Amino acid sequence: MQVAFPETPSVGIHKKVLRLMGNRFEISIVHEDASWAEEQISFTISKIKMLEGLLTTFSDHSQTNTINKYAGLRPVKVDKNVFELIRRSLKISRLTQGAFDITYGSIDKSLWNFDPQMTSLPDKATAKKMIRLINYQNVILNEENGTVFLREKGMRIGFGGIGKGYAADMARSILQNKGIASGIVNAAGDLITWGVQPNGKPWTIGIADPDNKSHPFSYLNISDKAVATSGNYEKFAIIGGKKYSHTINPKTGYPVSGIKSVTILSPYAEIADAMATPVMVMGIRNGLNLINQVKNLGCIILDDRNKLYTSNNIKIN
C-alpha cells in the first residue's frame, strides 16, 4: 500500500518511520508545530510498544504466550484490551465461518515454510492432521474473571491477522484525542486515514500491483477510512510450476489459490486487516457475497488472470 503525499513536505506533514510489532510502521500527521507534532507521535509509539509487549509471540512473558503455555491446563487472566481483542476476533471467526481464526498459530510451521528449498507439497492427510488444533470454538472467554482458556493442549493463538490493524486504530484514536485533525497510520500496508491533506484534498492510496508491487495498479482517494491488502506476492512457493500463497485455509491446511490480492476498505483498520485474509480463503464469489452483506465494507479482488472484481459499493474506472 502506497500513500501519495503532496510534492512539498513543508506544508505541515510530520512523519516518523520505525519497526513496531515486527513490521514497518509509518505515522504521519498534519500540524503547524513540528516539535509538538513529534512529541505526539513519540507518545503514540510508546503506546504501540506497550501493546506489542502484550501481543507478541516473540517474548515468553507476553500474555499471548502465557495463554498458549497453559493451553489445556488452566485459564489465564489477561489485560482488558487483550480480552476484548480476542472477543472481537472470535466474532469475525463466526462471521467468516472460521476462514479467519486466531488459533492458526497451532499449525506446525514445518508444514509450509515457503522458501526456495520447498519443492514438494505435504500430503493431504498430513496437512489435515496438522490443523487439528485450529478451532476458534475452543477459545473460552470468561468475562467475569477476565480470563482466556484454550481447551486443547498444544493450541496456540496469534494476532498476525488483526494486530497491526488494531494498533493502527489505537494510534489514530490517540492522535485524534490529542487534537490532530488529519493524518495517516500505515502499519506495513494496513493503514487508516483521517482528515485531509494540507492542500484540502483527500488522502490518495495506491493499491499495489501483485506482479510489480512497487507500482500501484489503482489509486483510491479516501479519508476517514482504513485499507488493508492481502496478497500472494509477499511470500509464496512455486512447486511444479504453480504458485502457492502463504495464506493457508485453516480448514484444509493447504494454501489458497486463484486470487492474487484482496483489498478491504472499512472505517476501521482492525476490520480491514482481519477481513482481507478470509476473503482470500473463501474465494471470489463467497467472499464478495459476504462483504456485500456487511455495512460499510468494500472489497477489491484481483484474480490469477488479472481480472478485477469489486463489491457493489466500489466502482473503478
Look at residue 35 and tell me if it is in a domain.
yes
Look at residue 264 and tell me if it is in a domain.
yes
CB neighbours of 103 closer than 8 A, spacing ≥ 6?
133, 134, 135, 136, 138, 139, 150, 155, 156, 157, 250
Among the residue ranges 59-68, 92-101, 171-180, 252-261, the one predicted with the least confidence is: 252-261
Q: Are residues 145 and 171 in the same domain?
A: no
Q: Are residues 111 and 180 in the same domain?
A: no
Q: Are residues 248 and 302 in the same domain?
A: yes
Cα distances (Å, whole numbers) of residue 297 to 4, 55, 109, 171, 225: 23, 26, 32, 21, 10
Q: Which of 150, 183, 217 is the last residue of a domain?
A: 150
Q: What is the mean pLDDT of residues 274-285?
A: 95
Look at residue 157 and tell me if it is in a domain.
no
Q: Which of 82, 116, 150 is the last residue of a domain?
A: 150
pTM strictly above 0.85: yes
Q: What is the pLDDT of residue 5?
A: 47
Q: Are residues 127 and 169 in the same domain?
A: no
Q: Which of 150, 185, 216 is the last residue of a domain?
A: 150
Q: What is the pLDDT of residue 306?
A: 87
Q: Are residues 181 and 239 in the same domain?
A: yes
CATH code assigned at 91: 1.10.3980.10
Q: Are residues 39 and 176 in the same domain?
A: yes
Q: What is the pLDDT of residue 307?
A: 92
Q: pLDDT grade, residue 206 (50/70/90)?
A: confident
Q: What is the mean pLDDT of residues 86-99?
A: 97
Q: Are residues 169 and 297 in the same domain?
A: yes
Q: What is the mean pLDDT of residues 20-29?
A: 95
The three grid cell numbers given for residue 1, joined into one nine-digit string: 500500500
Cα distances (Å, whole numbers) of residue 73 to 60, 90, 154: 17, 21, 10
Question: With contact defined as beta carbons under 8 Å apart, do 172 and 183 qualify?
Answer: yes
Look at residue 155 and tell me if it is in a domain.
no
Q: Are residues 203 and 132 in the same domain?
A: no
Q: What is the pLDDT of residue 72?
A: 97
Look at residue 83 and tell me if it is in a domain.
yes
Among the residue ranges 42-46, 110-114, 312-316, the one predicted with the least confidence is: 110-114
CATH code assigned at 9: 3.10.520.10
Rounded Cα gap, residues 173 and 110, in angstroms: 39
Q: What is the mean pLDDT of residues 245-270?
A: 88
Q: pLDDT grade, residue 299 (50/70/90)?
A: very high
Look at residue 21 and tell me if it is in a domain.
yes
Q: pLDDT grade, residue 110 (50/70/90)?
A: low
Rounded Cα gap, residues 280 and 182, in angstroms: 32
Q: Which residue range forms the structural domain that includes residue 117?
A: 63-150
Q: Are residues 42 and 191 in the same domain?
A: yes
Q: Are residues 67 and 173 in the same domain?
A: no
Rounded Cα gap, residues 202 and 16, in angstroms: 21
Domain count, the chain: 2
Q: What is the pLDDT of residue 123?
A: 79
Percent of the chain with pLDDT over 90: 66
| Mean pLDDT, all residues of the chain | 89
